[in-house]
């Protein structure tokens, strides 16, 4: 098969890992940098050029669209879908999951538990903040990644100037209950085609509350509880993700989903769990094209 990885980082671990696994299975693998893709509609049909070459022989794509590139990246995936190219994540799934509030709405509708979260309404700010009482408040940008865009305020008094600043900077964000009992840890679960492939627990570094590996967190392999596994699968299904990384907090009232990533990094989790996630992704494509 002809398989393209949509990525701006040819040398990144995730890209290289997918390339290697695809080549091992005798597929023709390519990396498409979306910056060099030209999209058009001609005579009602989607047409795609990569550099100067017309693309018309692709069987499947693996989108690895970065947060800085959501609009163009998801548009490219939609174009390929219209060209009957199989994609491991749909354009709609990329868009839905990029916006944290939208994804909370979608997964909670499907019965997935999430932390108590409020979409900020600037006209009702004081009332909204009052609902947190004396508790800490998490302030979270809708499109933050790698832990950049998440702030922990000790209380309403500390939260107020932060919220006012973000509002003045025209940022979109939510307020969220702080799950203290998770003690700076969360769970990352990789789901491929409705099956859990790997799971790890991430712990934040001293003095932080964000467990992202990009923020210096550490990780170890984890055997999920039945409930955690069920929640991860339900969240992936609700957002219609063929491949995703589900982040879960272990709260006293059970597992709560924090977010679903359409482009989960593979380095941390493949090295931590020694599971070959790239191989599972290539296998998923093969089963779907048959
Ligand atoms: N409500 C919360 N309670 C406790 N910790 C949280 C909460 N929200 C986020 N965190 C911590 O911050 C990290 C980053 O938050 P997340 O919502 O996943 O944003 P990002 O997209 O930047 O990874 C999480 O992995 C978790 O460790
Ligand atoms: Mg996260």
Which H, E and C letters describe 21-78, residue by residue? Answer: HHHHCCCEEEEECHHHEEEEEECCEEEEEECCEECCCCCEEEECCCHHHHHHHHHHHH
**One domain for residues 274 and 156:** no
Q: What is the CATH number of the domain that holds 65?
A: 3.40.50.20
Q: What is the 170 CA–ligand 1 centroid distance (Å)?
A: 22
Residue 144 banded pLDDT, cuts 50, 70, 90: confident
Mean pLDDT of 117-127: 90
Distance, CA of 83 to CA of 100 (rounded, Å): 29
Q: What is the CATH number of the domain that holds 145?
A: 3.30.1490.20
Question: Cβ distance 215 to 147 under 8 Å?
Answer: yes
**pLDDT, tens digit, 9 for 90 and up, residues 188-238:** 999 999 999 999 999 999 989 999 988 989 999 999 999 999 999 999 999
Q: How many domains does the chain have?
A: 3
Distance, CA of 250 to CA of 195 (rounded, Å): 20
Residues listed for the chain:
290
Mean pLDDT of 247-269: 97
Q: What is the pLDDT of residue 153?
A: 96
The pTM for the full model equals 0.95
User: Which one is predicted more confidently, 283 or 121?
Assistant: 283
Q: What is the 54 CA–ligand 2 centroid distance (Å)?
A: 37
Q: What is the 212 CA–ligand 2 centroid distance (Å)?
A: 6
DSSP code for 243: E
Share of the chain above pLDDT 90, in %: 91
Mean pLDDT of 161-169: 93
**Nearest ligand 1 atom to alpha carbon 140:** 17
**One domain for residues 63 and 206:** no
**One domain for residues 108 and 245:** yes
For residue 283, pLDDT over 90 is answered with yes
Ligand nearest to the CA of 118: 1
Distance, CA of 149 to CA of 143 (rounded, Å): 8
* Closest residue to atom 13 of ligand 1, CA basis: 210
**One domain for residues 109 and 121:** no
Residue 143 banded pLDDT, cuts 50, 70, 90: confident
Q: What is the pLDDT of residue 290?
A: 60
For residue 187, pLDDT over 70 is answered with yes
- Residue 52 belongs to what domain range? 2-89
For residue 151, pLDDT over 70 is answered with yes
Residue 7 banded pLDDT, cuts 50, 70, 90: very high
**One domain for residues 149 and 196:** no
**One domain for residues 57 and 162:** no
**One domain for residues 195 and 52:** no
Query: Who contacts 52 (Cβ-Cβ below 8 Å, separation ≥6)?
Result: none
**pLDDT, tens digit, 9 for 90 and up, residues 24-58:** 999 999 999 999 999 999 999 999 999 999 999 99
**Nearest ligand 1 atom to alpha carbon 184:** 27
């Amino acid at each position: 098969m002809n398989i393209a990885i949509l990525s701006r980082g040819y040398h990144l671990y995730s890209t290289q890992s997918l390339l290697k696994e695809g080549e091992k299975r005798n597929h023709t693998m390519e990396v498409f940098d979306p910056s060099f893709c030209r999209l058009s509609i001609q005579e009602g049909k989607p047409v795609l050029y990569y550099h100067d070459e017309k693309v018309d022989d692709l069987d499947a794509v693996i989108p690895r669209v970065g947060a800085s590139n959501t609009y163009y990246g998801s548009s490219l995936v939609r174009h390929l879908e219209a060209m009957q190219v199989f994609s491991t994540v749909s354009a709609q799934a990329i868009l839905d999951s990029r916006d944290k509030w939208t994804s909370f709405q979608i997964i909670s509708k499907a019965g997935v538990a999430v932390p108590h979260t409020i979409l900020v309404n600037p006209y009702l700010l004081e009332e909204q903040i009052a609902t947190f009482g004396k508790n800490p408040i998490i302030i979270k940008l809708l499109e933050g990644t790698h832990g950049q865009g998440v702030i922990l305020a000790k209380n309403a008094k500390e939260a107020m100037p932060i919220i006012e600043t973000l509002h003045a900077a025209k940022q979109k964000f939510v307020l969220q209950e702080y799950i203290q009992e998770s003690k700076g840890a969360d769970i990352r679960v990789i789901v491929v085609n409705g099956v859990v492939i790997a799971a790890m627990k991430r712990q934040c570094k001293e003095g932080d509350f964000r467990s992202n590996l990009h923020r210096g967190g550490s990780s170890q392999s984890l055997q999920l509880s039945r409930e955690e596994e069920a929640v991860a699968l339900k969240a992936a299904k609700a957002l219609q993700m063929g491949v995703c990384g589900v982040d879960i907090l272990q709260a006293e009232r059970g597992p709560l989903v924090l977010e679903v990533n359409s482009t989960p990094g593979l380095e941390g989790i493949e090295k931590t769990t020694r599971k070959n996630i790239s191989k599972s992704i290539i296998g998923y494509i093969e089963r779907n094209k048959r």
